[in-house]
Amino acid sequence: MKETLINLKNQAIAQIGDTSTQEELETIRQEMFGRSGKITKITRELKNVNKEERKEIGILLNDIKNTLQNVISTKSNNLKNSTRTWFDVTIPGKKPKIGHLHLVTQAIDEISKTFENVGFVRARYPEVEWDWFAFESLNMPSDHAARDEWETFFVDTPKHPKFGSMVLTPHTSSGQVREMMRVGSPPIRMINIAKCYRRQIDVSHYPMFHQFEGLVIDKGISIVNLKGTLDYFAKNFFGENRKTRLRPYNFQFTEPSFEVDISCDICSGNGCKLCKEGWLELGGAGMVHPDVLKAGKIDPKVYTGFAFGWGVERTFMMKAGLNIPDIRLMYSSDLRILTQY
Ligand code: DAH
């Protein structure tokens, strides 16, 4: 008898624990304490138990009644308080979407590190700048035809007696003389990466883009140093097997001036369908013109220097092998593009 009672108690507690609604709980309560419930029946039959055992069984039965009633009321409260009765902790979580740096920012960081590794110092100069720094000090007086290439945005401000109008920097070369003035006397090893602005928009141009500009000035700097630096960049940024080549060109602020090409990744300079003649154009470079050194108060008889500069977006697209049909996509915030990088 005792054993039956204890089993009954344990079973009931387990069933109560398994319930998830008040209705299920009520059913169990009826099965135990209802008119023909199990506990009710046993209580009724207690009088048939022989005297010796009756007292002990009676106490046990009372105990079980109390316990079950407590368990039922606790469970009932729990059900009332909880909105969710079951939670599967093993379900994999949903990760929140997190962003990352824009591809142009990634490119800037990488270009910057490549040059910083060999001693260049990162600089930034105003994007709204005096004409003098953007053109005049770079050997391009206001009536010079070469200026037409830099389709410049002019800012509507009164002219400065020495520095002239204000412009949105059309190239990072505007930082050259600024850097000479900041540093004072050479050595100078600048890498200036900044936004540039030109009045042009089509599939391969955007009115705002980025350039990086290198400037090195010291005693005895020659074209050999320029070539070495460009080759270093080509190998470290694009890959071990890449080379550069210099083609004569004309810029007002360098003499001699060059256009820099990089060997095609596919055919290594031999010529293929992709590059046509084996080389891809990167940008401009040259030996700093003596007039530019003078504008920065550096003596061209003592010091020489080289400079180079070109577009971040283009360089990055060449590295990534990106074939973006329209450069404007890079700034479109279209996640189908952005999430790929
Ligand atoms: N500033 C030139 C441009 O925007 C590029 C350039 C050419 C930069 C020659 C240089 C250089 O530093 O030496 O087209």
Helix (H, G, I), strand (E, B) or coil at 142: coil
List residues bridging with 249 in a β-sheet: 257
Averaged pLDDT, 199-218 = 93
Distance 93 CA to ligand 1 centre (A): 52
Rounded to 5°, angle at Cα 69 from 64 and 40: 65
Query: Cα Rg for the chain, rounded, in angstroms?
Result: 41
For residue 133, CA distances in Å to 30, 47, 159, 211, 303 come to: 94, 112, 14, 16, 20
Q: Exposure pattern of 231-262 as b/e (b: 16+ CB <10 Å)?
A: eebbebbbeeebebbbeeeebbbbeebbbbbb
Of 167, 140, 130, give the one whose Cα is nearest residue 152: 167
DSSP 259-324: EEEEE-TTTTTS--TTTSSSEEEEEEEEEEPHHHHHHTT--TTT-EEEEEEEEHHHHHHHHHT---
274, two tokens: 């992709």
Residue 164 above 90 pLDDT?
Answer: yes
Distance 77 CA to ligand 1 centre (A): 78
Averaged pLDDT, 106-119 = 96
Residue 114 contacts residue 237 (beta carbons within 8 Å): yes
Averaged pLDDT, 68-93 = 84
Task: Out of 16-25, 29-38, 224-233, 322-331, pick the least confident.
Answer: 322-331
Averaged pLDDT, 265-292 = 87
What is the pLDDT at residue 277?
84
Take atom 12 of ligand 1 and give the residue whose Cα is closest.
Answer: 308
Residue 83 above 80 pLDDT?
Answer: no
Predicted confidence band of residue 115 (pLDDT cuts 50, 70, 90): very high
Mutate to test the pocket of ligand 1, among 173, 178, 233 (most ligand atoms within 8 A of CB): 173
Predicted confidence band of residue 120 (pLDDT cuts 50, 70, 90): very high
Residue 46 above 70 pLDDT?
Answer: yes
Q: Within 6 Å (CB) of ligand 1, which residues are found?
A: 171, 173, 213, 251, 254, 283-286, 307-309
Distance 212 CA to ligand 1 centre (A): 9
Report pLDDT digits (tens) over 166-191: 999 999 999 999 999 999 999 999 99
Fold of 103-338: BirA Bifunctional Protein; domain 2 (3.30.930)
Distance 285 CA to ligand 1 centre (A): 6
What is the pLDDT at residue 332?
85
Averaged pLDDT, 315-324 = 77
Distance 320 CA to ligand 1 centre (A): 23
State which ligand 1 atom lies nearest to the alpha carbon of 309.
8
Residue 262 contacts residue 318 (beta carbons within 8 Å): yes
Averaged pLDDT, 203-224 = 95
Residue 85 above 70 pLDDT?
Answer: no
Predicted confidence band of residue 84 (pLDDT cuts 50, 70, 90): low
What is the pLDDT at residue 138?
96
What is the pLDDT at residue 82?
72
User: Residues 6 or more apart from 102 whose CB is under 8 A from it?
Assistant: 338
**Beta-carbon neighbour count of residue 222 at 10 Å?**
12
What is the pLDDT at residue 229?
97
Residue 210 above 90 pLDDT?
Answer: yes
How far is residue 95 CA from its own chain's centroid?
A: 17
What is the pLDDT at residue 81?
78
Strand 188-197 with 121-123, pairing: parallel
Predicted confidence band of residue 246 (pLDDT cuts 50, 70, 90): very high
**Averaged confidence pLDDT in the chain:** 91
Give the rounded percent of residues in the chain with a pLDDT score beyond 70: 98
Take atom 4 of ligand 1 and give the residue whose Cα is closest.
Answer: 171
User: Residues 6 or more apart from 53 whose CB is under 8 A from it?
Assistant: 1
Q: Could you tell me the residue ranges of all domains in the chain?
A: 2-82, 103-338
Take atom 7 of ligand 1 and give the residue whose Cα is closest.
Answer: 284
Of 64, 21, 57, give the one whose Cα is nearest residue 39: 64
Query: CA dihedral defined by 196, 174, 114, 304, rounded to 10 degrees?
Result: 160
What is the pLDDT at residue 49?
84
Distance 248 CA to ligand 1 centre (A): 13
User: Residues 6 or more apart from 138 whose CB is under 8 A from it?
Assistant: 173, 174, 176, 177, 252, 253, 289, 292, 295
Mutate to test the pocket of ligand 1, among 189, 310, 313 (most ligand atoms within 8 A of CB): 310
DSSP 235-262: IIII-TT--EEEEEE--TTEEEEEEEEE
Cα torsion 282, 170, 320, 108: sign: positive
Q: How far apart are CA 148 and CA 151, in angstroms?
A: 6
187, two tokens: 């050595």
What is the pLDDT at residue 184?
93
What is the pLDDT at residue 293?
98
Distance 307 CA to ligand 1 centre (A): 8
Predicted confidence band of residue 340 (pLDDT cuts 50, 70, 90): confident
